[in-house]
Amino acid sequence: MRYGLAEIEDQLIATLQAEASLVGINNIKSHASDVNRLTFVDPAMGEGYVSLLPFIFVQYQGRSSSANADMRDSSGTLYSHRLYFRFYVGAQCLRNAQEGQRSAYDMLAGVFDALHGKIPNCTAFAYDGFTKLSGPEITRPEAHPITPLIEADGTDEKLIVNLPSIVVYQTDYHVTMVA
């Protein structure tokens, strides 16, 4: 792979941390396991998440390679990979579920404002008209974004937990990079 996956993830986190509408959310970090309704069946696990509120977790969801002829060179040595990232947005319900949902809506809007249309920060790439993600540059000379970060196709936002103490939405984005 010619892109720096860990560096892209670090840039996503740094960009979210710099977003003015998300100031005050101290738990913006990588997350390795799924967050779903079943997580909250075990009270100990559920309480662990509630203690982290509000949060935004960044999770790499994998990639898809393009078999499309226009997304690779004729010798098959350069491909593009579409990299998928999921963001879990957790908000606290202090009085009622609607309050938690609306707080999560503001966080989802902040994620969109911070990330949508931005490209990874790569040293060797000219940023003609594009805004780059924050954080340390990817210094690999062959790292090149093909598309900016955009909402994933299909359902890109989804409510996954709606309990008296916590509301969690997931939102998905992808970026295409030279592989």
Residues 128-141: tens digit of each pLDDT: 788 999 999 998 88
Overall number of domains in the chain: 1
Q: Which helix (H) or strand (E) holds 65?
A: strand 55-65
Interval 94-101 mean pLDDT: 66
- The CATH number for 172's domain is 3.30.2000.10
Both tokens of residue 107?
């966080």
Alpha-carbon dihedral of residues 149, 162, 36, 58, nearest 10 degrees? 30
- The separation between CA 131 and the C-alpha centre of its own chain, rounded to angstroms, equals 16
Residues 71-91: tens digit of each pLDDT: 556 666 677 889 999 999 998
Q: Which residues 6+ apart lie within 8 Å of 104 measured at CB?
A: 89, 90, 91, 167, 168, 169
Interval 113-131 mean pLDDT: 86
Q: Which domain holds residue 115?
A: 5-178
User: What pLDDT score does 69 carry?
Assistant: 45
pTM: 0.88
- The separation between CA 106 and the C-alpha centre of its own chain, rounded to angstroms, equals 16
- pLDDT-based confidence at residue 47 (cuts at 50, 70, 90): confident
